[in-house]
Amino acid sequence: MTSSDTSLPVVAIVGRPNVGKSALFNRLTRRNSALVEDLPGTTRDRIYGTVEWRGRVLRVVDTGGLGDEATDPFGTLIREGVHHALTESQAVIFVVDGQTGPTGADYEIADMLRRASQPVLLCVNKADTGAGERNLVEFYALGLGEPLAVSALHGRGAGDLLDAVLEVVPEAPEEAPAEPERVRIAIVGRPNVGKSSLANAILGEKRAIVSDVPGTTRDAIDTPFEFEGHSMLLVDTAGIRRAGRIERGVERHSVQRAERAVDRADVVFVVIDQQELLVAQDTHIAGYAAQASKGIVILVNKWDLAEDRATKPEAAQRVDARYKFIPWAPVIFTSALTGEGVQDALQLAVHIAEVRRRRVQTSELNRVLHRAMAEHGPPTIRHKKLKLYFATQPEVSPPTFVLFVNDPALVHFSYERYLENTLRAAFDFEGTAIRVIFRGRAEGGEEPA
């Protein structure tokens, strides 16, 4: 699953165990590989897949075994499973077993689904057998309208089911809904620098780091919180925890995990321990965050332990020297213990996330760049000089600028730096990486004068 999938409408497949949910899932998503076992109560993780039908694309989630009468007499798992499915889907396919007729668990699920705001399609599976046919009419008793007969194994009725799904799932809007964007923060750094202590300080002491929202990777857990009226998200809170008790051999895994957290963040808190300022630090993850064009704040933590707090300027200089590849990243002195600097860091994160969403007017952008090039002309390379035709900012978060030029090969590294710094200064892109892409005449498509 990639993040771009999240804009697709989601259809959840629910039903008690052994009715053929995963067979239907495989049929709809054309996955034949997964095992379809005839064992009741085989629980699995939730599985996501995509369906393309009549030019539309949907995401389908198989909710796995939702408890059964034998192991779950009070229907707790069923209720939880249905509840979860309802929170994340725009429509529900409720699968029942045509060979058995409706059971108690079916009625229980139907009760919940009748109260849901989403459309529900009642799907009678195993209709390939005569018994399935005969029982079809019994399922009207579930109060969910007309039952649709399918055979997940043989494919019968699958097309009609998908047609019915398309009818009830609204077309995805052109633009993503303007829901307030959360500021996503990842906390990274070496073991023991105070990441989980900082996470606790941010979330409030009373609040234990517990499962809140499943992240996009398996066992990643994000924690939402509010800060001064802003919606925030701490990315992979579980990972922050885990990295603390690092064991030999899992180091590599935790680096990869930190990278995945960075991938999903707007702003990365790179935490270092003020006691370690004099020793060589690992700057890999900060470099990774810069390359991924993220916002970055450097947190010099355990500042309460500093022997001489007047040494702040020297300490800042040392950090700057070490992190000179991200001169734009602000440095904050924090103490997870006393809370010092934590609020400042969060305010910066909010500000940086806003800056990253800023869209520069095209006219303004071109004026600034042309002036910068007039003031400080590009170097001549092989008797040729870089010429800028037109610049535009097609994307935000990260702010991305495309400069249409005569020949991208004429862009010297240091000149690229110069133009990038010009943009940063002119439009106040504090605390975030920006992307500057050069395109030649031929690739540009449009070619304004």
Cis amide bond preceding 398, omega within 30: yes
Distance of CA 227 to the CA centre of its chain: 20
Nearest distance in Å: CB 340, ligand GDP: 8
Question: Cβ contacts of residue 335 below 8 Å, gap of 6+?
Answer: 301, 302, 303, 304, 341, 342
User: Given candidates 191, 377, 379, 448, which one binds ligand GDP under the rule CB under 6 A?
Assistant: 191
Number of residues that bind ligand GDP (CB under 6 A): 17
d(CA 208, CA 111): 34
For ligand GDP, which stretch binds (CB under 6 A), given 52-60, 189-197, 284-292, 378-386?
189-197
* Residue 49 interacting with ligand GDP (CB under 6 A): no
196 or 366, CB closer to ligand GDP?
Answer: 196
The residue range among 107-115, 185-193, 323-331, 406-414 that interacts with ligand GDP, by the rule CB under 6 A, is 185-193
Best CA proximity match to 297, nearest among 123, 124, 137, 430: 430
* Residues pairing with 224 in the sheet: 233
CB nearer to ligand GDP: give 192 or 293: 192
User: Between residues 130 and 191, which has the closer beta carbon with respect to ligand GDP?
Assistant: 191
Nearer to ligand GDP, 119 or 194 (CB): 194
What b/e string do you get for 417-449 counting C-beta neighbours within 10 Å, with b at 16 or more? eebbebbbebbebebbbbebebeeeeeeeeeee
Q: Tell me how far apart the alpha carbons of residues 395 and 402 are, in angstroms, rounded to a whole number.
A: 9
Q: Which is nearer to ligand GDP, 248 or 324 (CB)?
A: 248
Please write down the HEC assignment for all residues of 359-371.
CCCHHHHHHHHHH
Per rule CB under 6 A, is residue 197 in the interface with ligand GDP?
A: yes
In the set 126, 257, 302, 318, which binds ligand GDP (CB under 6 A)? 302
Q: Is 136 in the site for ligand GDP (CB under 6 A)?
A: no
**Residues whose CB is less than 8 angstroms from the CB of residue 4 and which lie 6 or more positions away in sequence, other chains included:** none
For the sheet with 435-439, list strands across it. Answer: 388-395, 400-405, 435-439
State the minimum distance, in angstroms, from the CB of residue 320 to ligand GDP.
21
Instruction: Name the β-bridge partners of 124.
Output: 96, 149
| Residues 372-395: b if buried by 16+ CB within 10 A, e if exposed | bbeeeebeeeeeeebebbbbbbee
Q: Which of 50, 103, 192, 406 binds ligand GDP (CB under 6 A)?
A: 192
- SS3 call for 274: helix
Does 237 bind ligand GDP (CB under 6 A)? Our answer is no
CB 431 within 8 A of CB 329: yes
The answer to whether 41 contacts ligand GDP (rule: CB under 6 A) is no
> Residue 188 Cβ, how far from ligand GDP at the closest point, in Å?
9
Q: Is 194 in the site for ligand GDP (CB under 6 A)?
A: yes
Q: Quick check: 193 binds ligand GDP (CB under 6 A)?
A: yes
Question: 191 or 448, CB closer to ligand GDP?
Answer: 191
When asked if residue 301 is in the footprint of ligand GDP (CB under 6 A), the reply is yes
Helix, strand counts (H, E) of the chain = 14, 18
Stretch that binds ligand GDP, among 37-45, 111-119, 138-146, 187-195 (CB under 6 A): 187-195
Touching ligand GDP, residues 303-342 (CB under 6 A): 304-305, 335-337
The minimum distance between CB 271 and ligand GDP, in angstroms, equals 6
* CB nearer to ligand GDP: pick between 60 and 240: 240
Residue nearest to ligand GDP (CB): 194
In the complex, least distance from residue 328 CB atom to ligand GDP, rounded to whole angstroms: 24
**Do the Cβ atoms of 58 and 75 come closer than 8 Å?**
no
Structure tokens at 374: 């007039």
E strands in 63-179 = 91-97, 120-125, 148-149
Q: Which of 26, 125, 196, 281 binds ligand GDP (CB under 6 A)?
A: 196
267, two tokens:
């702003």
* H helical segments located in 376-411: none
Out of 40, 101, 244, 287, which residue is the one contacting ligand GDP (CB under 6 A)? Answer: 244
Q: Whose Cβ is closer to ligand GDP: residue 283's or residue 400's? A: 283
Under rule CB under 6 A, residue 347 binds ligand GDP: no
Residues that bind ligand GDP (CB under 6 A): 189, 191-197, 243-244, 301-302, 304-305, 335-337
